[in-house]
Structure 1
């Protein structure tokens, strides 16, 4: 298993399929890291759609999305489920951030967060506007996650 990137490392580009709930329409698209250059990006890796902790985490970020976006950031949720599963999850929970599908766990492996049984460790990475890793939170077990207020505090450090 690869190591997680270190703070200050440049994060390699990737492309994943996904979608975002926009009103009643789930807009499907491919998402690439290079298209986010120039603004901060929060990558929230989570083990599975519609599981208790993952639901609490993604709902928390969706509820705090306006504040995260006002800090200039984009938020992507990434898990191994397919885009159809993500669409059901987004519709059932009213999630407004893009949910990306890493079915082969290629991106999770590049971040060093794959794990036996659960597929990947719950992890959050903040990438700055130059594609460098600014902050990370990687869990061993996966029952905790940083709240949106913590992410906002780290985003504030990017602008000061």
Structure 2
């Protein structure tokens, strides 16, 4: 099943950057969310994307949004990635790819790489934007633009 604009974001759980249990029910319905799936920590495109979200994180916070990054990397990898690039937002470890499947994120590049997809939800948990592109830098302005439209 692939999520579409207008669908409710599904509930999911995962380990966060600090190894704590993250439950989406704690944030869905309380604030605007930017949930982005990316292929791998410490790769050029993923690092550029994470750093762009970092550099504009205050813009997201000012609009009342929270940013959550998800990949199949381990908690230890996320910790290292977060520390190295001083990422202020949550990274979730989806090692069994259950969350990726729940959202219907397809693999990119002929099925070789995990897909790069950003979802933006409103405060009720309804998806208002889906951006599916391997062009890492384009995700941040698209997400900000969609959030500004609902303000």
TM-score by length of 2: 0.91
Residue 34 (str. 1) matches residue 18 (str. 2) = no
CA-CA distance at 1:12 after TM superposition: 1.4
Separation (CA, whole Å) in 2 of partners of 1:145 and 1:128: 22
Q: Which moved more, 1:46-55 or 1:8-17?
A: 8-17
Q: Output the aligned Cα RMSD.
A: 1.4
Question: What is the deviation of 1:145?
Answer: 4.2
Deviation >4 Å, runs of 4+ = none
User: Aligned pair count?
Assistant: 147
Structure 2 segments unaligned to the other structure (5+ residues)? none
Tell me whether 1:99 sits opposite 2:91 in the alignment.
Answer: yes
Indicate yes or no: 2:112 matched with 1:117.
yes
Instruction: Give the 3 Å change call, closer, same or farther, for CA 72–158 of structure 1 in structure 2.
Output: same
The answer as to whether partners of 1:60 and 1:147 remain within 8 angstroms in 2 is: no
Aligned to 2:9: 11
CA distance in 2, matches of 1:94, 1:147: 19
The CA deviation at 1:105 is 0.6
Check conservation: 1:42, 1:124, Cα contact below 8 A. Answer: yes
Match of 1:155 in 2: 147
The answer for unaligned runs of 5 or more in structure 1 is 20-26
Does residue 133 (structure 1) correspond to residue 127 (structure 2)? The answer is yes
